[in-house]
Structure 1
Amino acid sequence: MVAFRFQETVIAPDFVAATALQHFPAAIFPTIHPIDWLTSHFAVGGWSPLQRLSGMLTAHMTQIAPHNGFTWHPHRALEIYTWVLEGELYHEDTTGGRGIIQAGELQRMFAGDYIEHQELNLSSEPARVIQIWFVADRQHQGLPPHYQQIGRGDLPVRQVGGAKVYSLIGDDSPIEQHMTGRLTAARVDDDGTTTLELPSSNEDLFLY
């Protein structure tokens, strides 16, 4: 069993003011191109001034070039959620979990006490994904790892104004979770608007 100490939020000095809501344009967050087949835009973690938001270690949008990807590598005690926006991504792990995640589908990989996996773009088109890493709640960190994939049609969705709002993680989602939080995604129509549900008194809201 590997235990992670639950740390406070880590933010660069003077980045966040003492106001209820702040807006930062996407351009101020770093886009990196560490190797020729990978481009990532970090909102949390990596090279972002938002180094950590409670249990969220990273939130980034990544584009993987055709016939490239991440070969076998390990994780522990993490909840990793991957939502494919464009293209497709092949996943395989040491629990026997494997599958091709198509655009609009959601993948959850619980690393538990130990897992190795690879994620590859085997197609001839770029794959664009949003990936979010959370530290699993302490009582779950030593459990066996497992993998879950949810089809686009199986995600709860509702129309809110000019947007389709998907419940990716939460009480009404079929995705299991070993962390505390909710994750919602919206596809907003061109020139459309929508509204946001305000967090409860014991929650924080992060919009990416």
Structure 2
Amino acid sequence: MSTPTRLVVLVSGSGTNLQALLDACADPSYGAKVVAVGADRDGIEGLTRAETAGVPTFTAKVKDYTSREHWDRALADKVAAFEPDVVVLAGFMKLVGTSFLDAFGGRTVNTHPALSPSFPGMYGPREALEYGVKVTGATLFIVDAGVDTGAIVAQSTVPVDDDDTEQTLHERIKVAERAMLVDAVGKMAREGFSVEGRRVRFGA
């Protein structure tokens, strides 16, 4: 069997997407292995999940560095130490910068709780409800210098119910997002992928 694709996962909170990846990686046929989990803060459940799974962890807190650029370089160095093939931002609530993208551009992915390019930013479910769309969902994309603007790897649709609140809609999106993330990262690991402009293709 070929060597598993090495994943470094960055988190800021409870780590439910991380847990889904850890569970998937427990099956050797999945094709990937989480080799480290990083965070931008201490004492979060995401780090506990990693430690429980025996995965090395690290933190890089913005306040510990003299500038955002210094933090970005340090984060890139910490991630690079684990030699990842793919970096997954799984609820990581910081924008990565130039140094990070210079090191890991084209192989860093993030999720967004809307169907890109609609409703970028932090409030996708709320804005979908306010706009009155009948279908929304989740997007997995290649991270670039913009906000939720990168090339799309995968999308999953979620219908909007008439009685939805922001919370109920977001919870259903999260379920779809986790399944999409696990499926797409597994395909990236097993089949390889390429990024050509705005097109992401599976298969090396």
- TM (norm. structure 2) is 0.30
Higher fraction of strand: 1
- TM (norm. structure 1) is 0.29
